[in-house]
Amino acid sequence: MAPLPRCMFILPLFPLGICAQYVGSQSCQPCHPGQFTAQAMSEHVHALAPAKPGSPGEWAFGAGRKAITYVSHKDEETYIERAASYFASTKSMGVTPGHQPAIDLEYPTFDPTTSGARCFRCHSTGQPVLAAGFTIQPAENGIRCEACHGSGAAHVAAGGGSATIRNPKRLNAVELNAFCGTCHRKPPEAGVEGDWTDPWNARHQPASLSQAACFRKSAGSLSCLTCHDPHAPLGTSAKAYDQRCAGCHQGVRHRTVTAGTACVTCHMPEVQEPAPELHFTNHWIGIYANGNSLVPVSRPDRSLPPLSLPPTAEGKFAPPNALSTLLPLFAQAVSEREKALGAWDAKVARSLKAQGLFLKTLGDLEAAAVPLGKALEIDRHNNDPDLFAVEESLAQTYELTGNRRQAFELFQQAAVGVDLQVAARSYASLAPLDPAHASDYYAKAIAAQEKVTGADHPRVAMLLNRLAQALEEKQNFRESELLLRRALAIQRKALGPSPDTATTLINLGSLLQNLQRAGEAEPLEREAIAILEQKRPQSVELAAAYTNLADLLSTQKDFAPAVALLRRAIAIDEAIYGTDNPEVAVDLTNLGELLKGHGQDAAARTALDRALAIYEKRFGPQSPQARDVRESLRHLR
């Protein structure tokens, strides 16, 4: 059989010869001696180093100010994060966060989401490459000049000049938060929240800062650089940080003199991580209750939209340490395996699959389909058991690009394979592509999932939820209720008061509400709201839960609480989508109708006028939405 043609990929923003463009931090020293010397003393420089003799691993990740975690190369496919880390607070070894005692964790070298290469990308400078045995070789250990300023070859060749080098200082506050968040964790997308009650999130400073009212109301005057000099060691004096606070909060009075001189201590408390040896400063600036250092008790940010600023010219470039810069590493793995093993070898297919999934993670779906297609061709030729997982991945890619027919065919093939976990996911993916038979697909997905994980696993609960919704659409309310109650029982036991549990509570509450069983629905919906207010206080799920409960209360003639809930839903949706989004118009219409039904015509007109303006702007004056609102306004006194 003829060898497969090699895949060609276009890497936007990263021209050929990228490795040669990095010149190393020593090239920066002659022109920038002060910054070079200061930065050489910072923690960033020591983010990665070869481990000292006698250490449990080959690489030492972390500057040692708080901790050092050790990593070793296992084989061509795997890196190992060691179970024992060094903690500076105790000057001793302890259990690495996320590990069980004495149990190392394995990370695939080329996995699109948990790749060991991602660790090296953020802890080193320049373009990492693959060395012998598929070991990752950093260009320069630690975070040096070009990790933030980009490749310096053109700058050096030109003898300097701002036009030939990146400068994060030219970014606005939002862009800078995302820039630093490339490695320190970016802020969540609007309406998508993590679990803020998880102490581990406190170590993700940009994500936390983005939630703070101080940041959202700063008009761009507050950024990472307000308090931190990236060219110097991290400051430890609370007084120095307090002075930054006083620059904006002049004249603020406190009950005691001590409180007025302890801004950071009170408003950015230390959070103890799951590892008791670790503490991080919470960058969600706010007012905290005693005993709670995770989420402020006062939440003015809940009604504040995320900070939005005009983009800068500097902001159009990807950060030098962006995830996309690892693409050459994935391409190198494919190329070297093709040369060494031949184009039809199973390991080539694994590298092609990894490359395709990585491109899919980056959102380049058309490019992702190329290596995934070639991986599938090789696996079919070799009758490799991984072919069902590749079929599923390629089907997902086709579905996302709108190629539903090919996606459907591949999901069908993956669903009947020997990999039951792939089968469960594929059956679930077939359901929305063939709604008429959705309940049949979900039933098959549940059967496959139960064989893999047992009947009481959270993934089974998720599939039960989907089957229940499909049956509800067919008016099979009794069976839908039973499935939701089973899902809820699984989640209560396995997950406790989690966002997934809240979703099932909302679904069950909505079903009961539609069946005129408001007395049973209300406690479920209130329980869901209590969970989401704690776990995801500014999310689309919480806004929807408020709306559902408001609808229930309005049918019970409980007017004032229903209005209050709708106003809270509006505040969240305005913060997520902006004030002129159709989602906000839906909320305003609901509020207007509720107010109109209780004789508050003036307040109803205010809400409906706003909704009408949004609909006319977004969809046009003759849109169905605009016409409906005008008809409602016509009946107001």
Amino acid at 573: D
Dump pLDDT digits (tens) for 415-473: 999 999 999 999 999 999 999 999 999 999 999 999 999 999 999 999 999 999 999 99
Count Cβ neighbours within 10 Å for each residue of 218-252 and write b for 16 or more, e otherwise. beeebbbebbeebbebeeeeeeebbeebeeeeeee
CB 224 within 8 A of CB 176: yes
Q: How confident is the model at residue 189 (pLDDT cuts 50, 70, 90)?
A: low
Q: Determine the pLDDT at residue 457.
A: 98
* DSSP codes joined into one string, 210-265: TT-HHHHTSTT---HHHH--TTSPPP--HHHHHHHHHHHSTT---SSTTGGG-HHH
How large is the average pLDDT for residues 335-358? Answer: 97
CB 137 within 8 A of CB 19: no
Dump pLDDT digits (tens) for 113-135: 888 899 999 999 999 999 999 99
Helix or strand holding residue 508 (H, E): helix 499-514
Instruction: Assess whether pLDDT exceeds 70 at residue 268.
Output: yes
Task: Report helix, strand or coil for 594.
Answer: helix
Q: Determine the pLDDT at residue 368.
A: 97
Instruction: Assess whether pLDDT exceeds 80 at residue 104.
Output: yes
Whole-number Cα distances in Å, 540 to 48, 77, 207, 488, 568: 39, 39, 18, 21, 12
Dump pLDDT digits (tens) for 496-531: 999 999 999 999 999 999 999 999 999 999 999 999
CA dihedral 413, 419, 421, 424 (to 10 degrees): 30
Q: Determine the pLDDT at residue 575.
A: 83
Q: Determine the pLDDT at residue 463.
A: 98
User: What angle is formed at CA 271 by the lines to CA 270 and CA 275, rounded to 5 degrees?
Assistant: 130
Q: Where does residue 134 fall: left (phi above 0), alpha (psi -120 to 50 degrees), or beta otherwise?
A: left
Dump pLDDT digits (tens) for 317-342: 989 999 999 999 999 999 999 999 99
The span from the first CA to the last CA of the chain, in angstroms, equals 81
Q: Tokens for 294, please give them.
A: 């995770």
Q: Determine the pLDDT at residue 388.
A: 98
Q: Determine the pLDDT at residue 221.
A: 94
Q: Give the pairing of strands 105-108 and 129-131.
A: unpaired
How large is the average pLDDT for residues 80-85? Answer: 96
Instruction: Assess whether pLDDT exceeds 70 at residue 47.
Output: yes
Q: How confident is the model at residue 6 (pLDDT cuts 50, 70, 90)?
A: very low
How large is the average pLDDT for residues 569-592? Answer: 92
Which of 238-252, 310-324, 333-347, 609-623 is predicted least confidently?
Answer: 238-252
113: exposed, middle or buried (Cβ count in 10 Å: 0-12, 13-18, 19+): exposed
DSSP 8-state class, residue 102: T
Instruction: Assess whether pLDDT exceeds 90 at residue 72.
Output: yes
Instruction: Assess whether pLDDT exceeds 80 at residue 192.
Output: no
Dump pLDDT digits (tens) for 272-314: 877 788 889 999 999 888 888 888 886 655 667 788 899 999 9
> Which residues lie across from 136 on neighbouring strands?
130
SS3 content of the chain, % helix, strand, coil (to 5): 55, 10, 35
Instruction: Assess whether pLDDT exceeds 80 at residue 95.
Output: yes
Length of the chain: 637
How large is the average pLDDT for residues 246-256? Answer: 80
Average pLDDT of the residues of the chain: 91
Quote the percentage of the chain above a pLDDT of 90: 77
User: What angle is formed at CA 227 by the lines to CA 225 and CA 229, rounded to 5 degrees?
Assistant: 60
d(CA 487, CA 275): 32
Dump pLDDT digits (tens) for 589-600: 999 999 999 899
